[in-house]
Structure 1
Amino acid sequence: MARRRLPPPFAVSDLPVEDPAALRGFVRPPVARVAAESAAEAALRSLSLEMQSLRDQGRMVVSLPPGAIEENHLLRDRLMSDPEDFAALKTSIRAHGQRTPIEVCELAPGRYGLISGWRRLHALRDLALEEPGRFAEVLALVRSPESAAEAYIAMVEENEIRVGLSYWERAAIALRAARAGVFADERAALRQLFSGASRARRSKIGSFMSLVEDLDGVVQFPAALPERLGLALAAALAQEAGRGADWRQRLAALPAALSAEEEQNRLQDLLSAGAGRMPAAAPKPKAVRQELRPGLWMEARGGRLVLGGAALSPDLIARLTDLLRSETDAA
């Protein structure tokens, strides 16, 4: 009996694809179809797992509607935003788009809590109102902090890198986070929130913490308080019990329209007066002008000697400089 020779196998590509009727009735072998479908599913599953891993690690930027982000999820460390800096940020985003994503954590499906990027979020919300449709989404990294403490640390570190916090703001967030139970106590909050700071800087923040505890709510421009004045006030409060209550009463009675500079002058007055009566500002000594010769005069102004007039030529200035240097050397 003669054996029948089978034709060689062929692929779909061998068929005349220009003729759709030629493919009619062609069926891929079941084993090949199952293998192809399994490989596609495995590849899709692998890609999905990789994307989820990147998202969980906070390495994938996602687009979120601004309304889905709760900005007060954490107690904010920054007390205020400089109007000029904020306007510059809006101008930059309007011209170039959002270059740096904010950081959020997922609270529930479709709801996110803000970790860092408070100024960027507010700038984008303002721009969305000014230009509807263009700024309808916020670029964000979805973080998964293991604890609330890690979320606070991330917020503080991000603000320290971008726009340094004032000492009052640093102290205030440490106090508030400790009182909210995020950290075991105030010392733990100070140590963990500012672990990258030097020991000297953490000591200064600790001094400001006592100042915030005594005067929070009655200082109108706390973020503008200079470091040296704040440390001096904290030291004075530590020297005498009850001084904080006295100062609170005095500061609360001040007009609300004070500027930051005026408030600092009053705080300096409190420091000078201690727990007693706030002294009246001493009148400035009147400058007395003496005419040395026609076109040349001299004034004594608070420890400074000022010369002026048309006769004050470069040659005269050089001779006076040589004279003063020789007198200094002789002394």
Structure 2
Amino acid sequence: MAKRKRLTPAVITDAPALETKSAIPRYPLGVAPKTRAPIADVAQDASASAALTEIAQTLTDARNEGRLIQRIPLELVSDEYLVRDRIDVDDDEMITLLDSLRDRGQQTAIEVTAIDHGRYGLISGWRRMQALRHLEVPDVLAIVRTPADSAESYLAMVEENEIRVGLTYYERARIVAKAVDQGIYRTDRVGLVTLFHAASRPKRSKIGSFVGIVRALDDHLRFPTAITERSGLALAAALEADVTLADKIASEINANSPKTADAEAAIIAAFLQPATTPPAAKAPAPALGGDSLTEAPRELGQGLRYKRTAKGEIVLSGPRLDDADFRQKLQDFLTAL
């Protein structure tokens, strides 16, 4: 029987060395640290990227929709972008605003819109702008709006001031006239209804009356915001009734150069005084005496009788007609009939 050949394993030189006790890693706490699979890193990176994208989009949307308050250099904001509806600023109001800005800083953002060359046009917050400039503050907190057109900018300004500031009727009417003059609206009527759409019909009517005053006297009045509602409506009616009145008032104001609102109001009031008219002629006294036809009214006294002639005269008969005082009172009574 043939002898079997004994086989031996092949020697592989690149094979790792046999594991020994010293080759087993030792861990301080006896627990191997956790390792991350590559897929976990990929998932985390994707999640972080998505979060950053969402934050960036949220900020972009807030900026585009005018919900993001930004800090803008004050020198880059132009307050001549719109014709302002506020003409005068009360000194006490400005002092109060300055004190508040010094003590607490700017609490309410202004509203602006991007125009050109990195600059911004002021929509609302004119008083805050003036106060901040007075305090030489370098930056202003602002919300950047993106109105569709100038008409929307004017509307935003008017609505903001209607809420925050008590504008006079003259100031409201003036912004209507100026917006129309700049071609924002076709007519005074369209501008009035658009800018003050939230106002009541009587209020819009009064503003419309003051628009006539603005058209006629805006270049001549020195204290237009002092015109009260009552005197303004009377002036508007007078200007509409007499087309020459505006020139007369303007000439008088320019000649006298009133230094106070009361002095200017007195000049205007002089033109609104009603003209003196001669007293109306009294109706001829009724003829007394003659025949009676019907019973007289009780107010004439018991027993008196009267009749009307073809000429409309009243003929009386009865007792006490010889009393002069009674006859005079009776004539006065009958004249008032």
Question: What TM-score, normalized by structure 1, do the two folds share?
Answer: 0.69
For 1:178-327, list aligned pairs within 5 A.
178-256=180-258, 258-272=259-273
Q: Give me the whole-angstrom Cα distance separating, in 1, the residues matched to 2:118 and 2:238.
A: 50
Q: Deviations over 1:10-57 (max 9, x none)?
A: xxxxx99xxxxxx9xxx9876554443333222211110101111111
Residue identity opposite 2:77 in structure 1: I
Q: Give me the whole-angstrom Cα distance separating, in 1, the residues matched to 2:131 and 2:70.
A: 18
Q: Deviations over 1:214-247 (max 9, x none)?
A: 1111110001111111110110111122222222
Tell me what 2:172 maps to. Answer: 170
Q: Give me the whole-angstrom Cα distance separating, in 1, the residues matched to 2:240 and 2:269.
A: 16
Find the residue that maps to 2:273 and give its secondary structure: helix
Find the residue that maps to 1:253 and give its secondary structure: helix
Residue identity opposite 1:113 in structure 2: G
Unaligned runs of 5+ in 1: 5-14, 17-22, 129-134, 275-331
Residue identity opposite 2:201 in structure 1: R
State yes or no: 1:56 paired with 2:64.
yes
Is residue 75–residue 138 contact of structure 2 (8 Å, CA) maintained in 1?
no
Correspondent of 1:43 among 38, 51, 55:
51
Find the residue that maps to 2:114 and give its secondary structure: strand
Tell me what 1:314 maps to. Answer: none
Correspondent of 2:96 among 84, 88, 98:
88
Is residue 217–residue 246 contact of structure 2 (8 Å, CA) maintained in 1?
yes
Q: Give me the whole-angstrom Cα distance separating, in 1, the residues matched to 2:183 and 2:37.
A: 65
Tell me what 1:139 maps to. Answer: 141
Q: Which has the larger radius of gyration?
A: 2
Unaligned runs of 5+ in 2: 1-8, 10-15, 17-26, 276-337
Residue identity opposite 2:74 in structure 1: P
Residue identity opposite 1:262 in structure 2: A
Q: Deviations over 1:188-209 (max 9, x none)?
A: 1000111111111111111111
Q: Give me the whole-angstrom Cα distance separating, in 1, the residues matched to 2:110 and 2:175.
A: 20
Residue identity opposite 1:105 in structure 2: T
RMSD of aligned Cα (Å): 2.4
